[in-house]
Structure 1
Amino acid sequence: MKAAVLNEWEHIEIKNVAVPELCDEEVLIKVTYAGVCGSDVTIYKGKHPTAKTPVILGHEFTGVVEKVNSSKRSDLKMGDRVVVEPLISCGECSACLEGNWHVCRSLKLLGIHTNGGFADYVKVPAAKVIKLKDSMSDRIAALTEPFAVGFHVNQRGGTKAGDKVLIIGGGPIGMVIGIMAKRCGAERVVFTELNEARIDMIKSFGFEAIHPGHEDVAALSAEITQETGYDVVFEVSGSQSGLLSSTDLCAIRGTVVFVGFPHKRPEVDVLTAIFKELNLVGSRVYTFKDFVRTVRMLEEIVESQQYNLEGMISDTMPVEQAEEAIQKMIRGENLGKILLTY
């Protein structure tokens, strides 16, 4: 089969490799679409703390069941359209024993620590396979993983009806956080973003956007929130300026959720957090329950036509161009999600 293999840091080679052989309780998936993630960029650059080469990247993918080797998944059959929750937990550490599999002490992911979806076929744990309704296209299904991140982030932030929400950073993850914030009942969702093309995309989804280079974020935010501050602030940029403004712009006793990965150890305004009695929250991937709920929510969005989710996909490229897709992200040329096709 054809696969995009990260042989060494900053070098992907398109190779013919053997189709994976199934072990017990595994399913073989024929991949139809795979999303390119910011984590793939981090791995490609050799900056991921636990990834090793060689590896087939790709943890955001959808496909069709090709073969099932499971006594527990009698519901799965050849031809079923599915998505896969890509987390691999040890099941033995304290986090796993408490049911928090997604923050396992030795958490691994398909496409990072074992071969993933940048290939014609990928083998996955049978328990992680979720069937899709016919109403959801393969292209939208490929967005499930980042939307699960967005939903879990809102769960961590406690987003609720009537909240005023600020999202610092309007890239693909910021966008899905915004959509999921509205699904959780947020009254207003406001972005700060420097890229004017991304601002246009943000506004096309019905959200408000402030350009920090051209507008006074503090003054506009005071007007939007009647000077109380935002109930929930999601810091998605990972920038030092974003981290500092997150506490400044949050309401007293509000919640700041840290989502973006800083390039170096950052500074956070702890004094403001103390004086405002803020909740400072981390968020990592998603629970399996959140992932399944995300699939159903995406199906509801598609069926209700609440959002044009196709508008989230800015580029579609053949898997042979996986390295160019990653370079495109490094250069900041993609506005939304890049999908690889097979």
Structure 2
Amino acid sequence: MATMFPAAHAAVRASMDQRSIEVRMRETPQLHAGEVLVQTEYCGLCGSDLHIWNGDDGYGWVPCGTVLGHEIVGRIVRSDDPGGLKPGTRVVAIAQSGCGSCPACMMDYANGCPDKVTLGLTRDGGAARFVAIPATQLLAVPHDVPARTAVLTEPLSVAARAVADRGSVTAADTVVVSGPGTIGILSALVCRHLGARVVLKGTAHDVAARGGLADRLGLDLVETLPPGFKPNVWIEAAGASSALADAVRELPAQGRLVVVALYGAPPALAANDAVRKELDITTSYSSHRPDYQLALDILQTHPGLGDLLVETVPLTSIAVAFEKVGRGAMPKIAVEP
């Protein structure tokens, strides 16, 4: 039978070798019940993808040959979900899904499901021209949010969970966000969206490299906290022991510390000082549908954010894209199939 879709398309596949990645032609995915075929416009690369590329410890469970990519924006081209979103709709994908019936899933907490599935890690992701995604994992992108901005939805949802959900930040709070990487910058934007007073804290190198970008975003990026700036909430997105030490030192008694970073080595924490201050220390990981919805709401107020934060690279130059991610060339690198 003739089909309007190519019989094969390029896809980025995980390899077993360190810093080895393959771009191969493969058949267009066949849809199962309840799935939707999405033509990818952009697929963002994140730290998890970089760890897989580097062959880092702790990522050996990702099957060799898996198509990478969970930060997906694209348009529906075919659907096996008659009552769902229609072909032509621009969508973003929720990265994680659960079994739907365990206690964690009953609380809409897929991250706690023992059988969770993650796009680009445990099933084929979006670093390809086409990707099959369960219809229940898709959200429509508002018409006034362009694709280059919408590709920020997944990392922004992670920041939204850390700030709004786990951190319970409101307009009454004064917040420091440590680490001006992707999640740090987006966390600061979420704080500002919620009306909180916020500064972004980094190293001297960070200030030199990203100070101009912070200015364009209307954020204060500092190496040292301004005189009189007394935070009661600290969002740790740097992944550095020094940032944890700063947080414990600067927060007042019963302040709130939210750790959203992942660390390359076990971090040091001044636990005795944290105990004496009765700090509330919370961790935050991944995100869920309400966090994605908040992210899309925020992006509607910043439709040009992608032009400031996202650099695009052709899918065929995937090795260049990973090199750019590794050296932090831009807050977000996205491949364009």
Is 1:64 aligned to residue 75 of structure 2?
Answer: yes
Take 1:224 and 1:124, find their aligned partners in 2: how far apart are those partners? 49
- Same amino acid, percent of matched pairs: 27
1:2 pairs with 2:10: yes
Query: Do the aligned residues in 1 keep the contact of 2:237 with 2:260 (CA within 8 Å)?
Result: yes
Contact 1:166/1:234 (CA < 8 Å) preserved in 2? yes
Give the structure 2 partner of residue 259 of structure 1.
260
Residue number among 309, 320, 335 corresponding to 2:330 in the alignment: 335
Question: For residue 153 of structure 2, what is the amino acid of its counterpart?
Answer: T
Q: Which has the higher mean CA deviation after the structures are superposed, 118-127 or 31-40?
A: 31-40
Aligned to 1:312: 309
Q: Could you tell me how far 1:34 is from its partner in structure 2? A: 0.9
SS of alignment partner, residue 14 of structure 2: strand
Match for residue 97 of structure 1? Answer: 106
Counting matched residue pairs gives: 323
Secondary structure at the counterpart of residue 273 of structure 1: helix
| CA distance in structure 2 between the aligned counterparts of 1:335 and 1:29, rounded to whole angstroms | 26
CA displacement, residues 230-251 of structure 1 (integer Å, 9 cap, x when unaligned):
1111111111212222211222
Shift of 1:92: 4.1
Matching residue's letter, 2:122: H
Letter in 2 for 1:183: H
Q: 1:319 to 1:162 in 2, by over 3 A?
A: same
Give the structure 2 partner of residue 174 of structure 1.
184
Specify the SS of the correspondent of 1:76: coil
Aligned to 2:138: 129
Q: Residues of 2 paired with 1:124 and 1:200: CA distance?
A: 38
* 3-state SS in 1 of match to 2:209: helix
**Contact 1:43-1:112 within 8 A present in 2 as well:** no
Alignment of 1:250-289 (within 5 A): 250-289=251-290
Instruction: Kindly state the Cα deviation for residue 189 of structure 1 after the two structures are TM-superposed.
Output: 2.5
Deviates further, 236-245 or 152-161: 236-245
Distance in 2 of aligned mates of 1:309 and 1:341: 14
1:155-176 CA-to-partner distances (Å, cap 9, x unmatched) read 2111110322111110111111
Shift of 1:140: 0.7
- Amino acid corresponding to residue 310 of structure 1 in structure 2: D
8 Å CA contact retained: 1:154, 1:184: no
Distance 2:322 2:272 in 1: 39
Question: Matches of 2:105 and 2:305 in 1, distance apart?
Answer: 37
| Cα distance between partner residues in 2 of 1:46 and 1:108 | 21
Q: Which amino acid aligns with 1:86?
A: A
Give distance in 2, aligned partners of 1:177 and 1:145.
12
Corresponding residue for residue 200 of structure 1: 212
Secondary structure of 1:159's counterpart equals: coil
> Cα distance, 1:296 vs. partner?
2.6
Structure 1 distance, partners of 2:273, 2:306, is 37
How many angstroms does 1:61 deviate by?
1.2
Residue 145 of structure 1 is matched in structure 2 by 154
How many angstroms does 1:90 deviate by? 2.6
Q: Distance in 2 between matches of 1:298 and 1:80?
A: 17
1:45 aligns with 2:54: yes
Which amino acid is the alignment partner of residue 341 of structure 1?
Answer: E
Which residue of 40, 44, 56 maps to 1:31? 40
Which runs of 5 or more structure 2 residues have no equivalent in the other structure?
A: 1-8
Which of 22, 26, 29 lines up with 1:20 in the alignment? 29
- In structure 2, give the amino acid aligned to 1:129: L
Deviates more, 1:157-166 or 1:20-29: 157-166
Q: Which amino acid aligns with 1:109?
A: T
Structure 1 residues 308 and 22: CA distance shift in structure 2, 3 A: closer
The answer to whether structure 1 residue 81 and structure 2 residue 93 are counterparts is: no
Checking the alignment, whether the CA contact within 8 Å between 1:234 and 1:257 is kept in structure 2 is yes
Q: Match of 1:27, SS? A: strand
Is 1:191 the counterpart of 2:201? The answer is yes
**Which piece of structure 1 moves more, 81-90 or 57-66?**
81-90
Q: Aligned equivalents of 1:189 and 1:338: distance in 2? A: 24
Q: Judging changes above 3 Å, is the alpha-carbon distance between structure 1 residues 224 and 117 closer, same or farther for their aligned structure 2 residues?
A: farther
1:113 pairs, out of 106, 122, 127, with 122
- Alpha-carbon separation, structure 1, partners of 2:95 and 2:34: 15
Of residues 86-95 and 164-173 in structure 1, the stretch that sits farther from structure 2 once superposed is 86-95
Helix, strand or coil at the partner of 1:252? coil
Q: How far has the Cα of 1:309 moved from its partner?
A: 4.3
- Between the aligned partners of 1:51 and 1:285, the Cα distance in structure 2 is 17
Unaligned runs of 5+ in 1: 212-216
Q: Which residue of 1 aligns with 2:228?
A: 224
